[in-house]
């Protein structure tokens, strides 16, 4: 097994895991993901989406942010685990390697169009580490 490839994929997974954990912390603690306008926060807590009246836009916002965090945490935990404990299995699976790359590329595109600079740079860094791991594994 290629130690460089494993190290790069593990580092990529660690970056994504850290981003997911920080995002989850910010979702439930503090006001970093709250609107700056308190009137908007109040309106979001009262308004329901067209889809259903069983929730509010605020609850949708919190739920989306938490589930987004869970996805990043899952990626980081699973790919870190597979890389460190089952490296040969991971590197023999084109499906898993491709799936990981597709997810990171999807996050990168979302980051470019919808996120701010810190998480965008973090996900670009994680994607480059992952790509480096793939290149090292192929060498």
Tokens 């308004």 -> residue: 47
Q: What is the pLDDT of residue 57?
A: 97
Output the CA–CA distances (angstroms, integers) from residue 92 to 3, 10, 89, 99, in the order listed: 15, 16, 5, 13
Condensed to tens digits (0 to 9), the pLDDT of residues 45-63 reads 999 999 999 999 999 999 9
Q: What is the pLDDT of residue 1?
A: 67
Q: What is the pLDDT of residue 111?
A: 95
Backbone angles phi and psi of 38, in degrees to 5: -60, -25
Which sign does the torsion angle of CA 137, 74, 112, 18 carry? negative
Cα–Cα distance between 128 and 94 in angstroms, integer?
18
Query: Domain range holding 88?
Result: 3-138
Our count of domains for the chain comes to: 1
Output the CA–CA distances (angstroms, integers) from residue 28 to 39, 54, 71, in the order listed: 20, 21, 16
Structure tokens at 86: 């089952």
Nearest alpha carbon to residue 107 among 135, 79, 138? 79
Nearest alpha carbon to residue 76 among 121, 23, 4? 23
Q: What is the pLDDT of residue 50?
A: 96
What is the Rg, in whole angstroms, of the alpha carbon atoms belonging to the chain?
18
Query: In whole numbers, what is the pLDDT of the chain averaged over residues?
Result: 96
């Amino acid at each position: 097994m290629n130690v460089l490839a494993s190290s790069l994929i593990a580092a990529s997974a660690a970056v994504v895991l850290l981003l997911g954990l920080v995002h989850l912390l910010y979702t439930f603690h503090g006001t970093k993901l709250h609107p700056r306008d308190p009137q908007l926060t109040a309106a979001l807590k009262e308004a329901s989406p067209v889809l259903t009246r069983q929730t509010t836009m605020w609850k949708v916002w919190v739920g989306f942010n938490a589930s987004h965090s869970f996805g990043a945490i899952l990626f980081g935990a699973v790919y870190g685990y597979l890389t460190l404990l089952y490296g040969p299995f991971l590197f023999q699976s084109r499906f898993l390697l491709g799936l990981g790359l597709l997810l990171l590329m999807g996050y990168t595109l979302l980051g470019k169009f919808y996120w701010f600079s810190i998480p965008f740079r973090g996900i670009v860094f994680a994607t480059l580490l992952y790509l480096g791991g793939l290149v090292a594994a192929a060498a």
